[in-house]
Structure 1
Amino acid sequence: MIPVRDDLRALEGYHSAQVDVRVRLNTNESPFPPPAGFRDAVAAEVSRVDWHRYPDRAATELRQAIAALHGVDADQVFVANGSNEVLQTVLLAYAGPGRTVVTFEPTYQMHAQIARVTGAAVVEGDRGDDFTLDPSEVERVLAEAQPHVVFLTSPNNPTGLVEPRERVEQLLALAPGLVVVDEAYAQFASWSALDLVDETRPLVVTRTFSKTWSMAGARLGYLVGPRWLVAELDKVVLPYHLDAVKQIAGCLALRYSDEMNDRVDLLVSERNRITAALRTLPIEVFDSGANFVLFRPHSVGGRAVWQGLVDRSVLIRDCSSWPRLENCLRVTVGTPEENTEFLDALAETLASAPATTNDSGTAAANDSAVPADIPTA
């Protein structure tokens, strides 16, 4: 057996519990499929693909469509296979051995994971008990680490917190390197850092088609940034990395902006309903600007609540073993019917579960053998 790199031995791959349930609210996907018209249009366009030819390496049409959506130029847009590949490409270009990446925990764990895979050192700043980011902590971490790349996730995953504009501006003022604002859930939030992107700032904003555009199965993501930065990414991205079908699907999805915005409005309304209902229970609830809600039961262990929900055929995300998130659970906003079923199952679980702070409940489907879940984008 050939040993893996020494710096990778302590890392684990991505894992997420897969349990056969009726209501699946654990991975922050859209609960709705794409519009029927989208499916038909993709099928028609794919039938005309020249399969014996490589796809457009520059993904010209897709980049132009995304640029038009955000009011920028196509050469400010980079596209890849999901936002995680976008992040990986950025880190291959700007992190790596001898360089430092900063995150503020708890946050999306793939930022640190991918950074370490590239060989970079990772420095973790701390959020407060309410998961907000204190300006003095930002100043301390940046002054000590002098990072080449800083990540900020807004809305933050798994907490749901929307970072204030002044926090992004503070990072831009103090960071000696690149600032990456991960906006996988931005459509559900009250503001975006996209209007801060220009040629003078080392800032990129990353997005995904997985959530709002109901395309988690396609794996398509992008960033918007300065032209000079986007040009540098071509040095590390693989040739023809984005297939023809994905480029077609991305272009066609953007034609359904009105339908997607209607869905966002519905999901935000449902998120507010879930939050209000949770606050009537013995539960600590954290404000969210995303399509999920993080909460912590007061008198019942998070793992026990997770198991009780699984027993009632409802699956949410167990965050109770993640650092700083003891006893916390995260529920994705589903359809109105799914959300009602979740709330009913949760109320039953809390009413029937013995009060305990011990979070070592038995896992379903032998999930105790599965490494701790990593938050998904």
Structure 2
Amino acid sequence: MKKYLREEIKNLNAYEVINRDYRVKLDANEGVDWIGGLNRYPVDRSDKLREALAEKLDKSPDELVLGNGSSELIELMMKAYLEAGETVVSFSPSFSMYKIFTIIHKGKYEDYPLDGMERLNVDGFIDFVKEKKAKLVILGNPNNPTGTLIPREDILKIVRSVDAMVILDEAYIEFSNYPKGDDTREFENLVVLRTFSKARGLAGIRLGYMIANKETIGYINRVKSPYNVNVLTQEMGLKALENDSITSNNIEIIKRERERMKMFLEEKELKPLSSGANFLFFKAPKNIFDALWDKDILIRKFGGELEDYYRLTIGTPEENDIVIEAIEEVENARS
């Protein structure tokens, strides 16, 4: 949306790469081939992958931009829209990189506390955004680290009410029962971020994508580095799209295991929050973390205001059984 665009970007032209058939290619200073064509730069905007993804999402390819994970896309939004000293607003607790990226890009970061770490007071949040005169608003949904969801009607109320670009980070959305689709055609100030890292199980290839209206995507392409998604990642992304049944099956396993682990943690009075993601957020005595650590079982530990809170990724049934056994041992030793 041009209204919020940085002044320097308004007259900036995107780096253009000519993609066409050739007999001899000597225009990009590439090296001599020695391993299957990898001397060539990748297709700049991942055309084949972007077109396949657009078809899955019932979108035009011009409504998508691909990135080196969602993290790059968050930074591209800041490159395009955030002037030095302007404000980014999110809620707390949330993904720590939102604040880090804001500081890197010379912005001011403000967060609004969730009630009981899981409920967003939507009207209070809207007033907070207006008070801080935010340029960007970032909403993790489901939220990391709590796993909680903001209802769609509340998301849309925020988008309608604030004078800012709204980044809806849906990295974990496939693990929820949230309505499919997005509202980027209706709202010019909304962008949606998703990833291949979580539900598709491909964190190692670093692939994320942004959905937005064509105008916004055009602005993002102005600030995007050329060739930002490598050849191997593009190929693996296409392979993933061809194997949706594997992804769907894995999601259902995670959902079942999430409920099993939630019930177990509740039985142990560790009070996990309800989660729409592939993890559970709970409070526990430090000796539980220490016992898991001593058995080489890694869960996420937090500090500061989140001291004594932990995040457990939902693993395979076998991995979850190992966690259950380790926690049972701690409980039995204490009794």
Give TM-score, length-normalised by structure 2: 0.86
Matches within 5 A, 1:15-34: none
Pairwise CA distance, 1:283: 1.4
Match of 1:352 in 2: 333
Match of 1:149 in 2: 136
Per-residue CA distance 1:90-123 (angstroms, 9 max, x = gap): 1111113032110100001111111111111111
In the aligned structure 1, how far is the partner of 2:121 from the partner of 2:180? 19
Pairwise CA distance, 1:322: 4.0
Question: Between the two proteins, what is the percent identity of the paired residues?
Answer: 30
In the aligned structure 1, how far is the partner of 2:138 from the partner of 2:242? 31
Match of 1:25 in 2: none
Per-residue CA distance 1:69-101 (angstroms, 9 max, x = gap): 111111111101111111111111111303211
Match of 2:192 in 1: 205
SS in 1 for 2:204: coil
SS in 1 for 2:41: coil
In the aligned structure 1, how far is the partner of 2:35 from the partner of 2:85? 47
Cα 1:155–1:322, aligned 2, differ >3 Å: closer, same or farther?
farther
Indicate which of 28, 40, 43 corresponds to 1:56.
43
In the aligned structure 2, how far is the partner of 1:109 from the partner of 1:225? 24
Matches within 5 A, 1:1-377: 49-192=36-179, 194-198=181-185, 200-297=187-284, 300=285, 303-319=286-302, 321-323=303-305, 325-352=306-333
SS in 1 for 2:178: coil
SS in 1 for 2:139: strand
In the aligned structure 1, how far is the partner of 2:36 from the partner of 2:275? 41
Which amino acid counterpart does residue 94 of structure 2 have in structure 1?
T
Which amino acid counterpart does residue 128 of structure 1 have in structure 2?
D
Which amino acid counterpart does residue 314 of structure 1 have in structure 2?
I
SS in 2 for 1:253: helix
- After superposition, the CA RMSD in angstroms is 1.7
Tell whether the 8 Å contact from 1:49 to 1:244 is kept in structure 2 after alignment.
Answer: no
Tell whether the 8 Å contact from 1:82 to 1:222 is kept in structure 2 after alignment.
Answer: yes
In the aligned structure 1, how far is the partner of 2:210 from the partner of 2:249? 24
In the aligned structure 2, how far is the partner of 1:146 from the partner of 1:66? 35
In the aligned structure 2, how far is the partner of 1:103 from the partner of 1:49? 45
Tell whether the 8 Å contact from 1:165 to 1:193 is kept in structure 2 after alignment.
Answer: no
Pairwise CA distance, 1:352: 2.9
Match of 1:14 in 2: none
In the aligned structure 2, how far is the partner of 1:231 from the partner of 1:344? 52
> More relative contact order in 1 or in 2 (CA 8 Å, sep 6+)?
1
Of 144-153 and 237-246, the range deviating more from structure 2: 237-246
Which amino acid counterpart does residue 67 of structure 1 have in structure 2?
A
Tell whether the 8 Å contact from 1:97 to 1:120 is kept in structure 2 after alignment.
Answer: yes
In the aligned structure 1, how far is the partner of 2:193 from the partner of 2:134? 19
Pairwise CA distance, 1:162: 1.2
Which amino acid counterpart does residue 326 of structure 1 have in structure 2?
E
In the aligned structure 1, how far is the partner of 2:220 from the partner of 2:290? 44
SS in 2 for 1:252: helix
Give the count of matched residue pairs: 302
Cα 1:353–1:103, aligned 2, differ >3 Å: closer, same or farther?
farther
Tell whether the 8 Å contact from 1:181 to 1:193 is kept in structure 2 after alignment.
Answer: no
Which amino acid counterpart does residue 290 of structure 2 have in structure 1?
Q
In the aligned structure 1, how far is the partner of 2:304 from the partner of 2:193? 24
Cα 1:76–1:193, aligned 2, differ >3 Å: closer, same or farther?
same
Match of 1:11 in 2: none
SS in 1 for 2:205: coil
In the aligned structure 1, how far is the partner of 2:46 from the partner of 2:165? 24
Which amino acid counterpart does residue 352 of structure 1 have in structure 2?
A
Pairwise CA distance, 1:280: 0.8
Pairwise CA distance, 1:207: 0.8
Tell whether the 8 Å contact from 1:95 to 1:148 is kept in structure 2 after alignment.
Answer: yes
Unaligned runs of 5+ in 1: 1-46, 355-377
Unaligned runs of 5+ in 2: 1-33
Pairwise CA distance, 1:187: 0.5
SS in 1 for 2:188: coil
Give TM-score, length-normalised by structure 1: 0.77
Pairwise CA distance, 1:268: 0.4
Per-residue CA distance 1:161-208 (angstroms, 9 max, x = gap): 011112211211121111111011011011157421215431111111
In the aligned structure 2, how far is the partner of 1:82 from the partner of 1:247? 12
In the aligned structure 2, how far is the partner of 1:62 from the partner of 1:48? 22
